[in-house]
Structure 1
Amino acid sequence: MHRLHEIAERTPPGRERFIDLLRAVAILIVVLGHWMVIVVTGGDGGVHGFSALEVLRWGRPITWLVQVLPVFFIVGGFANAASLTSHLRGGGGAGDWLLDRSARLVRPTTALLVTLAAAALVAHLAGADSDVVGRGVWLATIPLWFLLVYLVVVFLTPLTHRLHRRAGPAVPAALVVLVAAGDTARLAFDVPALQMGNYLFAWVAMHQMGFAWQDGTLPVRPRVAVPLLVTGAGAAVLLTVAGPYSISMVDFPGEHLRNLAPPTLALTSWATAQLGLVLLLRDAGERFLKRRVPWTAVIAVNAVILSVLLWHLTALVLVIAAVSGLGLLPLPRPPQHTGAWLSWKPLWLALSLTVLVALLAVFGRIETRGLRRARAPRAWWTPAVLGRPRPRAAATVAGYAACVLGLLGVAVAHPTHRGPLGLPAAALATFLAGAALLRAARAAGGRRAG
């Protein structure tokens, strides 16, 4: 706690504290939303699950309040633009900036994947049902979809930031047109693959909005924020209520046209409204965070915020295993009996939070340790050639590509039949190879440890 107070006291006067608050709030809402929407039931000799949105139609409009991933990408754009600009002004290169940025993302993810693989192997050797273990690992790795996309967006930041400096708002506007084109093709031909580009176009567009906020291209003024809020919200309502898009901003099985995976024009419109709202709240948020206690709390949460995202569904899996194995709580049978499982939801949330805190006590240190180290020690196995700029740049590109491909392999794998590691072995090996390559490049260049 004393160290947190010291960090709070040393905060530069010009730091945009509201950005840190938005990042923390967005991830915490995502965590709570996942815990709320996943319902566990018993019956038929096993444990089953479903999304509450499948049966609670009244809950679908509420998802507009908890769908805050656009805010995270907007905030990420602001933070990445500020960091990259500062790095380049200090004489650094884009490649070394990418190495620094990869440190905090890759190290905690490596810990998650290795731990899940080890736990699955132990369960396999103990004779556990491989399909059950596979489903548990699949559920625990759902957050990697988010990290996969964010890694790609971060990798593209030097290029997209350069485009922003040249074309400004024309870049996100063009990306939104591409999102609309993907949706139109999907609706016209009923071929989901035609919409896959939206995974990149939509999230990069939101990231570009953060660039515009950071450099003042998008002024923090009510005359700008209010039109963004009204226009974005109005378009989202028209597209969902009167248009073809789902009213739910969180996906669930059975939807014909989902809004999140991949992102749609409706979600992009809602992101515009959210941008207008946070711009309206910015000044009040900055005044609030000048106080020592709330700002210290924001610092504490942000120190482990990626670990919170990565481990929150693992916490839920452990609770499910304990409840089903030890019979700690009743497991209602049919999903239609909403009263039964809704009444137990507060206790499920409390148990999940308790387990998550325990996991953070162990694995949160991995994230904070990378922040405390100023330099990455050069290991004996680090190739000397990576000390030169061009080979290090090539290693950075290859490392990012391997990490992304590895995460993609994990994300698209079937929930069951995943082998003794609970994860596709080739995908896991690819990610670990990419992580090692980035680690070696950081060490060779004297970059921050990750």
Structure 2
Amino acid sequence: MTAVISRSAVRAAPAPQGRDVFIDVLRLFGMALVVLQHWSMPVLSFSDGRISTGNALSAGGAWVVTWISQVMPLVFFAGGAANAISWRGSVRRGGTVPAWLAVRLRRLVWPVLPLAAVWLPLPHLLQALGLPEQPVVTASRLAGQLLWFLAVYLVAVAVTPSMLRLNMLYGWRVPVVLTAGAVVVDVARFTTGLEVVGFLNIALVWLAVHQLGFLYADGRLSRPWAMALTGYGLAAALVAFGPYPGSMIGMPGAAVSNMAPPTIALLAVAFGQIGLALALRRWIVALAEWPGVSRVLAWAAPRMMTVYLWHMSALTIVTSVVVVGLGVSTPEPGTSAWLSGWPHWLLMLSLAMSPLLRCFSRFETPPQASPYAGGTARIVVAVALAGTGLLVLTVIGFVPGTAPVLGAGMLVAGLALTWSAPRLQPAARPSVESP
């Protein structure tokens, strides 16, 4: 996409000026709910050197909670709106696609480096201290699984300029086509039994949700209650009459997951969630303007990525002490013991998170760098390296071996390619006065 086309697109549908409080709240709310869900779900016990894990939301009809608590659709939607506003602002300032991508890639990858620096040697150290191998390997995998979001989101960021151009030309037809593609993928997946086909929906489903963020930035999302009812209604029908489970997160032992890979049932819930959020937008913005709430939002915004990346490490710390060290298993979900113990569990996790937040939030913002001047090919390689590195760490985690080291090395290499040496200004010639 050329700068000329981009500027014409901006004129056709100007992006909002400044920050959008509603989008900021959605991103923070989404990340906070992800953390709360991850901290509340585990059902843990330790015996004979092995840790057993279960999911509290698999009990009874608790899966209904996931239709609200699975908030990654809201995060991708808010990311789409934020990327549209950011890219259009860059175009108005005369920016280029490679330079914009370099900045976005640095912001995504830089906070991951301390996570890798800690977790690459940590499993070796823990095993050397005599800890059983299985709990160490389990924790090492979980520490990396969170990076799936950054891997997929990096792809969404990389195609933002091109997808925005399609948005300007075709509007609603773009997410409709992506949704139709997701339907075809699901039909192929469930009729042929080839689960690998379903992984195409990682791109189709999340890009469709990301594209809805573009439409919001353009002011082209209307009738939110109709969106909410349609989305949730379709999801209910798909669960009732289709091959889809009710839970919007993966459950232990489930034959099908709506999340990995994503299905059209999850996409329908995403449509419903976005409609519901838009219907409540006026009240959300009003609440965000309350002095106490605005202070909390201002404090949380520059720490959001740190909390996301390190909250499973806090879970590992508490589990190591309480479940493995003291032998205290989590109570049966839904019982009075579980309900009364849940606030204490969250308090312990928050206390474990506090020093991690103080230590690593400084890496939230990458160091200042000279404007990128490396060209398109170089930034494409940088995105490919960083995306592959994130994918490797997502699949393998930080389990002892060469693969996590290679994944972390790809992250470093991709990040290094986004920096350009400062341009030296030519020295001014001394003036020569006429005699």
Find 1:426's aligned residue among 392, 406, 409: 406
1:19 is aligned to 23
**Separation (CA, whole Å) in 2 of partners of 1:200 and 1:363:** 31
2:3 is aligned to none
1:232-275 per-residue CA deviation (whole Å, 9 max, x = no partner) reads: 11101111123221111111122222111111111111111111
- The letter of the residue matching 1:172 is P
1:175-230 per-residue CA deviation (whole Å, 9 max, x = no partner) reads: 000111111111101110111110000000000000000012224xxxx1121111
Q: Which has the larger radius of gyration?
A: 2
**Separation (CA, whole Å) in 2 of partners of 1:172 and 1:142:** 27
- The letter of the residue matching 2:351 is T
**Separation (CA, whole Å) in 1 of partners of 2:117 and 2:423:** 26
Output aligned runs, 1:19-38, within 5 Å: 19-38=23-42
**Separation (CA, whole Å) in 2 of partners of 1:336 and 1:300:** 33
SS at match of 1:424: helix
2:121 is aligned to 118
Residues 410, 234 of structure 1: alpha-carbon distance in 2 compared, 3 angstrom cutoff: same
Deviation at 1:393, TM superposition (A): 2.6
1:316 is aligned to 315
Residues 128, 271 of structure 1: alpha-carbon distance in 2 compared, 3 angstrom cutoff: same
Find 2:342's aligned residue among 323, 342, 345: 345
1:160 is aligned to 163
2:177 is aligned to 174
**Separation (CA, whole Å) in 2 of partners of 1:239 and 1:445:** 57
SS at match of 1:196: helix
1:7 is aligned to none
SS at match of 2:19: coil
- The letter of the residue matching 2:396 is A
**Separation (CA, whole Å) in 1 of partners of 2:54 and 2:174:** 39
Output aligned runs, 1:242-391, within 5 Å: 242-324=241-323, 326-327=325-326, 330-331=328-329, 343-367=340-364, 369-370=365-366, 375-376=368-369, 389=373, 391=374
Q: TM-score, normalised by structure 2?
A: 0.87
1:53 touches 1:59 (CA, 8 Å); kept in 2? yes
Residues 414, 72 of structure 1: alpha-carbon distance in 2 compared, 3 angstrom cutoff: closer
2:135 is aligned to 132
Find 1:437's aligned residue among 407, 417, 430: 417
Residues 444, 197 of structure 1: alpha-carbon distance in 2 compared, 3 angstrom cutoff: farther
Number of residue pairs matched?
Answer: 409
1:16 touches 1:286 (CA, 8 Å); kept in 2? no
**Separation (CA, whole Å) in 1 of partners of 2:370 and 2:412:** 19
SS at match of 1:309: helix
SS at match of 2:159: helix
- Structure 2: which 5+ residue stretches go unaligned? 1-15, 425-435
**Separation (CA, whole Å) in 1 of partners of 2:363 and 2:404:** 24
CA RMSD of aligned residues (A): 2.5
- Structure 1: which 5+ residue stretches go unaligned? 1-11, 379-386
Q: TM-score, normalised by structure 1?
A: 0.84
1:351-377 per-residue CA deviation (whole Å, 9 max, x = no partner) reads: 11111122111101111x43xx6x326
1:110 touches 1:435 (CA, 8 Å); kept in 2? no
1:251 touches 1:260 (CA, 8 Å); kept in 2? yes
**Separation (CA, whole Å) in 1 of partners of 2:233 and 2:336:** 34
Residues 123, 137 of structure 1: alpha-carbon distance in 2 compared, 3 angstrom cutoff: same
Deviation at 1:305, TM superposition (A): 0.5
SS at match of 1:217: coil
Deviation at 1:121, TM superposition (A): 3.4
